[in-house]
Structure 1
Amino acid sequence: MGKRAKPEEIIAKLREVEVRLSQGETIAHAVRAIGVTEQTFYRWRKEYGGLRVGQAKRMKEIEKENARLRRAVSDLTLDNQILQEVVRGKLLSPSRKRVAVDHVVDELGVSVRRACRVVGQHRSTQRREKTPRYDEGALTAAIIALAERFGRYGYRRITALLREAGWSVSTGRVYRIWRREGLKVPQKQPKRGRLWLNDGSCVRLRPAHKGHVWSYDFVQDRTHDGKIFRMLCVIDEFTRECLAIRVERRLNSRDVLDTLGELFLEHGPPEHIRSDNGPEFIATALREWLEALDVRTLYIEPGSPWENGYCESFNSKLRDELLAREIFYDLREAQVLIENWRLFYNTARPHSSLGYKPPAPRTILPATFMPPYRLKAA
Structure 2
Amino acid sequence: MELVAGEENAYGYRKLAICLRRRYNLVINNKKVYRLCKELDILAPQRRINVKHPRRLAVNRKITASDQLWEVDIKYGYITEEDRFFYLMCLIDVYDRMVVDYHLGLSCEGKHAAQVLQRALWKRNLFETDCRPVIRSDNGPQFISHAFEEACEKFSVEHERIPPKTPNKNAHIESFHALLEAECLSRHEFVSYQEAYQLVGEYIRFYNERRIHGSLYDFAPCEFRQRLAAGQLKPFIVKV
Provide TM-score, normalisation by structure 2. Answer: 0.64
> Contact (CA 8 Å) 2:91, 2:102: kept in 1 or not?
yes
Change (3 A) 1:206 1:325: farther
State the secondary structure of the residue aligned to 1:204: coil
Superposed CA offset, 1:188-247 (max 9, x none): xxxxxxxxxxxx94x702322111111110000110122111100111111001112321
The aligned residue for residue 80 of structure 2 is: 224
Q: Which residue, out of 249, 254, 265, partners 2:111?
A: 254
Name the CA distance, whole Å, in 2 between partners of 1:258 and 1:334.
21
More helix by share: 1
**1:46-89: per-residue Cα shift (whole Å, max 9, x none)?**
xxxxxxxxxxxxxxxxxxxxxxxxxxxxxxxxxxxxxxxxxxxx
SS at match of 1:308: helix
Q: What's the offset of the Cα at 1:288?
A: 2.2
1:257, distance to aligned residue in structure 2 (A): 1.0
Instruction: Confirm or deny: 8 A CA contact 1:245 1:338 kept in the other structure.
Output: no
Following superposition, the deviation at residue 356 of structure 1 comes to 1.1
Q: Which residue in the other structure is 1:208 paired with?
A: 64
| Pairing of 1:170-249 with structure 2 (within 5 A) | 201=58, 204-225=60-81, 226-249=83-106
Contact 1:245 1:339 in 2 (8 A): no
- What is the TM-score with the length of structure 1 in the denominator? 0.41
2:200 matches 1:338: yes
Q: Is the CA contact 2:101–2:119 (under 8 Å) kept in the aligned structure 1?
A: no
Structure 1 distance, partners of 2:115, 2:157, is: 15
Q: Please tell me whether the aligned partners of residues 272 and 298 of structure 1 are also in contact (alpha carbons under 8 angstroms).
A: yes
The AA in structure 1 aligned to 2:106 is R
1:278 aligns with 2:143: no
Matched, 1:321 2:175: no
Distance, in Å, in 2 between the alignment partners of 1:325 and 1:229 is 16
Matches of 1:273 and 1:245 in 2, distance apart?
Answer: 14
Amino acid at match of 1:216: V
5 Å-filtered alignment, 1:45-124, equals none
Query: Within 2, Cα distance between the matches of 1:244 and 1:335?
Result: 14
Residue 259 (structure 1) shift = 1.8
- Deviation track 1:14-48 (CA, whole Å, cap 9, x = no partner) reads xxxxxxxxxxxxxxxxxxxxxxxxxxxxxxxxxxx
Higher relative contact order structure (alpha carbons within 8 Å, sequence separation ≥ 6): 2
Matched residues, number: 163
- Give the AA of the match of 2:201: E
2:160 maps to what in 1? Answer: 298
The corresponding residue for 2:50 is none
Residue 114 of structure 2 aligns to which amino acid in structure 1?
L
State the 1:323 CA deviation: 0.6
Q: Residue 156 of structure 2 aligns to a residue in which SS?
A: coil
> Given residue 259 of structure 1, which amino acid in structure 2 is its aligned partner?
V
RMSD of aligned residue pairs (Cα, Å): 1.8
- What fraction of aligned residue pairs are identical, expressed as a percent? 28
Aligned counterparts, 1:336-375, within 5 A: 336-361=198-223
Alignment partner of 1:282: what SS? Answer: coil
Pairing partner for 2:169 from 276, 288, 307 = 307
After TM superposition, list the pairs within 5 Å mapping 1:11-30 onto structure 2. Answer: none
Contact 1:247/1:334 (8 A) holds in 2: no
Q: Is the 8 A contact 1:271 1:294 kept in 2?
A: no
Contiguous gaps of at least 5 residues in structure 2: 1-56, 127-131, 227-240
Task: Return the offset for 1:335.
Answer: 1.0
Aligned to 2:223, the other structure's residue is in SS state coil
Unaligned runs of 5+ in 1: 1-199, 364-378
Q: For each residue in 1:154-185, what CA deviation from the matched residue of structure 2 results, as whole angstroms up to 9, or x when unmatched?
A: xxxxxxxxxxxxxxxxxxxxxxxxxxxxxxxx
> Per the alignment, in what secondary structure is the counterpart of residue 361 of structure 1?
helix
Asked if structure 2 preserves the Cα contact closer than 8 Å seen for 1:215 and 1:273, the reply is yes
Q: Give the Cα separation in 2 of the matches to 1:315 and 1:206.
A: 23
**Aligned-pair distance for 1:260?**
1.6
Q: State the alpha-carbon separation in 1 of the partners of residues 115 and 204 from structure 2.
A: 19
Aligned to 1:287: 149
The aligned amino acid for 1:351 is H
**1:327 to partner: Cα distance:** 1.6
